[in-house]
């Protein structure tokens, strides 16, 4: 199969495994290829990066100094009936809930037979590129946080038997000292930005999801408020950078004449159903 997006299955006789490997290699080459649009074509905020960093840094420090201790002391007195639902909710902030289905779906589509029509091939490739974008947009910020939080070594609330927002032990590679930033908040806000950019009608639902996951991390005393703030910031900025990376390669997004990123129209449900019928045809 050859498509405008670069995925291919040239030999219909290939086994599903070899066909999957060939298409995955083609997808990697497509994503890691050179940019087709100059980065300067993208409009950036008129506010200098240094000023933004100073604002975010000041907000984090104020949260750490003024809010972390008091809020966690209040959380410590919450009744059990309030905490129990958040014990269940918080588990859905793990990146695996998204990465495993997205990754397996991508591999399954890459292994599909090669007897599709050219239109079906194009639709299938468009779907795969979008799945790949969602996977990368969630995985990259999560991988960054997983590494950085253990280098920072901030203690979680109640480590040592008391609440101490300033207890750090850098490069202590244990879960107890992996509080900053919150990985769950990073995933939640990556999902909000990544899925919200493809499905803008669902942004409210994704925002509710991100808010509940972030709140749950404090209610179950796994993170300080500043940890959640930092995780939300990394998830948001990291996913926006991934979106920009894809747009510069005209994958899923592109850069309009106004210098603003625009989403490419995706295949309709009708087109996707037609591909399914094409696959099931003898």
What are the boundaries of each domain within the chain?
A: 43-280
Say if residue 8's pLDDT is above 70: no
pLDDT of residue 2: 37
- pLDDT tens-digit series, residues 111-157: 887 667 777 788 888 999 999 999 999 999 999 999 999 999 999 99
C-alpha dist (Å) from residue 155 to 6, 73, 77? 46, 16, 20
DSSP-assigned beta bridge partners for residue 2: 8
**CB under 8 Å to 157, separation ≥6 — which residues?**
72, 163, 179, 221, 222, 223, 224
Phi and psi dihedrals of 130, rounded to 5? -70, -40
pLDDT of residue 129: 95
- Write out the two tokens for 153: 């070594």
Tell me the pTM.
0.91
pLDDT of residue 171: 92
- Give me the CATH topology for the region 43-280: Vanadium-containing Chloroperoxidase; domain 1 (1.20.144)
pLDDT of residue 140: 98
Asked if residues 267 and 126 have their Cβ atoms less than 8 Å apart, the reply is yes
Least confident of 6-15, 62-71, 267-276: 6-15
């Amino acid at each position: 199969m050859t498509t405008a997006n670069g995925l291919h299955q040239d030999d219909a006789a290939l086994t599903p495994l070899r066909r999957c490997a060939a298409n995955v290699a083609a997808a990697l080459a497509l994503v890691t290829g050179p940019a087709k649009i100059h980065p300067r074509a993208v409009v950036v905020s008129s506010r200098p990066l240094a000023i933004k960093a100073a604002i975010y840094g000041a907000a984090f420090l104020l949260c750490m100094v003024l809010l972390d201790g008091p809020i966690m002391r209040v959380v410590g007195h919450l009744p059990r009936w309030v905490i129990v639902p958040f014990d269940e909710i918080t588990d859905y902030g793990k990146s695996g809930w998204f990465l495993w289905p997205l990754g397996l779906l991508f591999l399954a589509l890459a292994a599909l037979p090669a007897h599709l029509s050219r239109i079906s091939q194009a639709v299938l490739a468009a779907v795969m590129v979008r799945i790949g974008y969602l996977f990368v947009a969630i995985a990259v910020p999560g991988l960054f946080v997983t590494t950085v939080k253990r280098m920072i070594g901030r203690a979680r609330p109640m480590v040592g038997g008391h609440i101490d927002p300033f207890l750090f032990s850098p490069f202590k590679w244990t879960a107890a000292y992996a509080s900053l930033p919150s990985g769950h908040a990073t995933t939640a806000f990556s999902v909000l930005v990544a899925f919200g950019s493809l499905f803008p009608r669902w942004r409210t639902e994704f925002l509710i999801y991100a808010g509940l996951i972030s709140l749950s991390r404090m209610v179950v005393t796994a993170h300080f408020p500043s940890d959640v703030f930092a995780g939300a910031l990394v998830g948001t900025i990291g996913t926006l950078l991934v979106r920009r990376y894809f747009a510069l390669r005209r994958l899923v997004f592109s850069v309009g004449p106004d210098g603003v990123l625009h989403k490419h129209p995706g295949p309709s449900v009708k087109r996707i159903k037609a591909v399914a019928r094409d696959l099931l045809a003898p």
